[in-house]
Amino acid sequence: MFELTSSPIDPAALRTRLAAPEAGALTVFEGRVRNHHQGRPVARLEYEAFDEMARLEGEAIVAESENIHAGATVLCVHRTGTLQIGEIAVWIGVASAHRQTGFAACRHVIEELKLRLPIWKKEHHPDGASEWVNCTVEAGSNAAGDDTHARQVALPEIGPGGQARLAAARVLIVGLGGLGCPAALYLAGSGIGHLTLVDGGKVERSNLARQILFTTAEIGGPKVVAAAARLRLHHPAGRISAHAGDLTAGNARTLVAGQDVVLDCSDNFATRFVLHDACLALGVPLVQAAVHRFEGTLDVFQRGAGGCLHCLWPGRPAAELDFAGNCDGAPVFGPAVGVLGVMQAAEAIKLVLGLEGLAPRQTRLVNLLDGTQLAIERPVRADCPVCARLDQLKAATEQLAASDAALLIDAADVSALGLSARVIFLTEPGDDLSAPGMARTVPAHDLARLRELAADGPLVLACRHGLRSAALARMLRAEGMGAVRALAGGNPPAGLQSFLR
C-alpha cells in the first residue's frame, strides 16, 4: 500500500493497520525533516508531487518489494505540503514473519523511493532564500568531488575519456546465476551507464553460495528484480533495466539491438545458440562463459572474426547438446563461476574501451583446481552455416523466432489443444514422483517413448525449469513431429494436473 497525504503522519495509527497475528516482526522507517542539508541550515521544507504519477510509481515500488521479499506486507506514506523541522516526511512499515525479510523490504522501498518517486521539495533557509530540489535527480547524481572511479580513471589506459565511454555504454547480461551476479556487480561498479538484466528465475536457497547478489531475504522472489535493486544501491548514477523472463528466439534480437556488448551468463546450450546468433546477426560482441566442476571456458565472439559457436559444435543441434546436461545444473566449484563471471566483466569493459582483450577465435580454459590457464584457437570452418554465410543469418534468426513462437505454449492455452492432448513431465534420476499429478511422467532420456507418444497426437512437454522440455520439443519437431509443444515456464501449475493423469 502506498499513500500520499497532506496531513501530519500518525505512526501509531499506521502501526495498528499493519498488525497481524502471523507477523513476528514490524520494521519501521521514519524519514524526518532535518535542520540542515549539504552544509546549509534549513528552516522548513515543502513537498510537491505529481499526484497520479507519484501514486502509481509508489504502488509499483511497494508491490515490487512485496514480490521480491515473500511474506512481507508493506505500507508506505509520503507527506506533501509544508513540513517543519522534526516532522515525518515519509513513513514505511513492513510486517513480516521474520526481521531479516522486514529489514530488506524496508530498505528496498527507501532506496527505490529516492531514485524513482516524482516528488520535489523546496528548501527554505533562515536567511529567506529557498530552492526547489528534485529528490530523484538529487539521489541519482554524484556529489561534487565524487571519487568513486578515481583509481580506475588514474589508469592511463582509461582516463577521463574512457570513463566517459563506460558511462555512455549499454551492456546486456543474460542470466543472473553464478556467472551473471559477479559480472553484473563489477560492471555496475566500473560505471557502465545502462545495464539490462535478463532472467526468468527465482532466488533459491541452494544457489545463494554462488549467486552473490542475493540473500535469504529474497528467496522465492524474482532474481532479476532483486538484482536490479541491489545494483542500484551499488551504482545509483547508472540505469538498471530488468527483464523478468527468459531469453528466447522471439525476443533475442529486440534485447540485443542497441547494446554495445552482451554477456552470456546462461546455463544451457539452447539459450547460448539463440543469443550467439542474434549477436552475430546484429554485429554486437558477445562474451560467453561456461563452468563445469572446477573448470571454465571464456570466449569472445565477434562478427567477421570466424570461429563461431557453430564452428565449435558442427552439426550438433542445441537440443542434443542440452540433453547432455541436467536442468538443475551439474556439480560446480563456487569460486570457479565467480572467477569466470569477473573475467566476463573484464572482457566487456575492454571491449567498450577498445582495449586489447581475449584474442579473436581464442578460447581461454581456466582450471581452479590446479590454478592453470590455457589459450586454444577455436576452429574456423569454411563450410560453417553461420559465420560463412552472415548474409543469410538474419533470415535464419527470424525463422527460428517464428518456430519458437509455435513451440512454446502457456498453461492457459493447453486446453485449447483438445482432449487428445497430453502433458508429459520429463523426469530426472532422483525426482520425487510422489507429488499429486505426477502420474504421467517419462524419463527425459527415453527418446523412444517420447517419439511414440508424439506420434499419437498433440503432446506438451514440461520439466522443472522449462529448459529440457523446450530443447527436446525442438528436436522432435525437427524430426517432423509438428504437434509437439513445450510448456512455457516449467512445472505444470495445479490447473493442469488433470492432464497428467
DSSP string, 53-77: HHHHHHHHHHHHHHHHSTT-EEEEE
Q: Which of 363, 201, 205 is nearest to 266 (CA)?
A: 201
Q: What percent of the chain has pLDDT over 70?
A: 81
**End-to-end CA distance of the chain, in Å?**
41
Distances (CA, A) of 151 to 157, 183, 347: 12, 20, 19
Grid coordinates representing 140?
541519482
For residue 80, the SS3 value is coil
What average pLDDT is seen over the chain?
A: 82
Structure confidence at residue 324 (pLDDT): 46
Structure confidence at residue 476 (pLDDT): 78
What confidence tens digit (pLDDT) does each residue in 279-316 have? 988 889 999 999 989 999 999 998 877 788 888 877 65
SS3 content of the chain, % helix, strand, coil (to 5): 40, 25, 40
pLDDT over threshold 50, residue 224: yes
Per the CB < 8 A criterion, the answer to whether 470 and 408 are in contact is yes
Among the listed residues 106, 327, 384, 387, the single catalytic one is: 327
Structure confidence at residue 362 (pLDDT): 87
Per the CB < 8 A criterion, the answer to whether 426 and 445 are in contact is no
DSSP string, 221-275: SBHHHHHHHHHHHH-TTSEEEEE-S---TTTHHHHHTT-SEEEE--SSHHHHHHH
Q: Is 463 a catalytic residue?
A: yes
pLDDT over threshold 70, residue 66: yes
In angstroms, rounded to a whole number, what is the distance separating the alpha carbons of residues 103 and 129? 38
pLDDT over threshold 80, residue 77: yes
Beta bridge partners, 45, equal 83, 123
Q: Which of 273, 299, 267, 295 is nearest to 286 (CA)?
A: 299
Q: Spell out a b/e string for 24-36, using b for 16 or more CB atoms within 10 Å of the CB, else e.
A: eebbbeeeebeee
pLDDT over threshold 60, residue 349: yes
Per the CB < 8 A criterion, the answer to whether 164 and 158 are in contact is no
Distances (CA, A) of 430 to 102, 326, 433, 443, 493: 36, 12, 9, 11, 21
Structure confidence at residue 67 (pLDDT): 87
In angstroms, rounded to a whole number, what is the distance separating the alpha carbons of residues 244 and 159? 35
Beta bridge partners, 443, equal 427
Per the CB < 8 A criterion, the answer to whether 95 and 105 are in contact is no
What's this model's pTM, rounded to 2 decimal places? 0.67
Q: Is 76 a catalytic residue?
A: no
Q: Give all domains of the chain, ordered by start, each with its CATH number.
A: 2-140 (3.90.1170.40), 151-393 (3.40.50.720), 410-500 (3.40.250.10)
